[in-house]
Chains A and B, each alone.
Chain A
């Protein structure tokens, strides 16, 4: 107000100064706006994408559970065998779905009792950003001899593998498909450069070797909040159960919660 009165009373340089002041004010407002937008972007990236992806991934799991319901009898219909170590023979290997098709659900108790994430075919941005863990489509399916490799975000978009560094050798990693449950045991992790495609080989890091075991390889960014390297987690297939035999006792509660059935 005071300034405006001065402008009114001043003579020659007044309009020029008013224009200058107006320009500086607009410039300042634009800079403040840019700062606010950048802060909002950080909030969106680190928080909102997780909210969005979690909702989408729950939806994918729900749809997968509905497909299971129509494809197989409820696991509760058959009594669970008493011995957990019962051998069901060679694991059934499913056929790979098309791009963005759901392969199954991954349960990792080390990441929390409610950790359930969908495994979806493909590792392109559209899969990883919203649908969950992406299966490298040129690698084996769960249970097959060779390497079943998946990628997942360490941060943002659900942060599906945020705690990948907390896995301890011996930790169980469960993969549920429409055929059954594949139990992998975590063996070790490794930090490599992003160009190390040999971690996806049938025998990880041994190109040309003929696989005799079933591997699970998970890749994610390293360090957290960075992507200069990749952290790789290797696991080996320990056992498998057909869908009719019901989920392994250790994750029965999670499976029931995720798929809405016991």
Chain B
């Protein structure tokens, strides 16, 4: 999968390396912005309140 993507990137080798790094960075940003906050609902240690006052 990854070799296939790398082979199909346009341009010379250095450009393909740059594009790969940019793609990895975009993936990271998307994960931090959307995926990880969603995943954190499934971890335990973020609930510090008593009862269910105001707790969604």
Give residues in A with beta carbon < 8 Å to B. 25-26, 29-30, 37, 40-41, 44-45, 48, 122-125, 128-129, 134, 136-138, 151-157, 161, 192, 194-197, 199-200, 219-221, 224-228, 230, 232
Contacts and interface: CB of A to CB of B under 8 A. Distances in A.
The SS class assigned to the B binding surface is loop
Contact of B45 (A48, A225, A232): A225
Contacts of B28: 40
Contacts of B56: 124-125
Chain B interface size band reads 20 to 34
Contact of B50 (A129, A155, A196): A196
Contacts of B39: 41
Contacts of B49: 123, 128, 134, 136, 151, 194, 219
B51 A30 contact: no
Given A26-B1, A29-B2, A44-B36, A161 B48 contact: yes
Contact of B48 (A137, A228, A230): A230
Interface in B3-56: 28, 31-32, 35-36, 39-40, 43-51, 53-56
Given A157-B46, A199-B50, A221-B47, 18 more contacts: A37-B31, A41-B36, A124-B55, A124-B56, A128-B49, A136-B49, A136-B53, A136-B54, A137-B54, A156-B40, A161-B48, A194-B47, A195-B50, A196-B51, A197-B53, A200-B53, A219-B48, A221-B46
A69 B48 CA distance: 33
18 contacts: A25-B1, A30-B1, A37-B35, A40-B31, A124-B55, A134-B49, A136-B50, A151-B48, A154-B45, A156-B46, A161-B48, A194-B47, A200-B50, A219-B48, A219-B50, A221-B46, A221-B47, A227-B47
A124 B56 CA distance: 7
Contacts of A228: 44
A145 B48 CA distance: 24
Contacts, number: 97
Contact of B54 (A30, A124, A154, A155): A124
A123 B47 CA distance: 10
A29 B55 contact: no
Contacts of B47: 194, 221, 227
A48 B43 CA distance: 16
Contacts of A220: 48
Nearest to B50: A219
Contacts of B44: 226-228
B1 A123 contact: no
A25 B49 CA distance: 46
A228 to B, nearest CB: 8
Which of B1, B47, B50 has the largest number of chain A CB atoms within 10 A? B50
Contacts of B1: 25-26, 29-30
A199 B35 CA distance: 35
Given A29-B2, A30-B1, A37-B31, A197 B51 contact: yes
